[in-house]
Amino acid sequence: MVLGDGLTQAPATFVILFPTQILAVVPVVLPGTYSVLVTPPGGTDTTAPPTLLVL
């Protein structure tokens, strides 16, 4: 799992809770909106990535 703001990327530690649910520990980043990229066993998902707002 990687967080990205368009300029930089930061890896996040994660645990898979269920097939559709992940618990992630986000690294220290500046406030802003970050995209969340999850690469499943079959490869990178090509749909629009979800975002995370850090206050």
pLDDT tens, residue by residue, 4-33: 766 677 777 888 898 878 887 877 777 888
**Which pLDDT belongs to residue 39?**
73
**Which pLDDT belongs to residue 5?**
67
pLDDT range class, residue 54, cuts 50, 70, 90: confident
**Which pLDDT belongs to residue 46?**
62
In Å, what is the CA distance from 53 to each residue of 30, 34, 36, 42, 47? 10, 6, 10, 27, 19
Torsion over CA of 46, 35, 4 and 38, rounded to 10 degrees? -50
CA distance linking residue 39 with residue 30, whole number of Å: 23
Q: What is the reported pTM?
A: 0.56
**Which pLDDT belongs to residue 43?**
73
Count of Cβ atoms closer than 10 Å to residue 10 Cβ: 14
Decide if 26 contacts 3 (C-beta within 8 A): yes
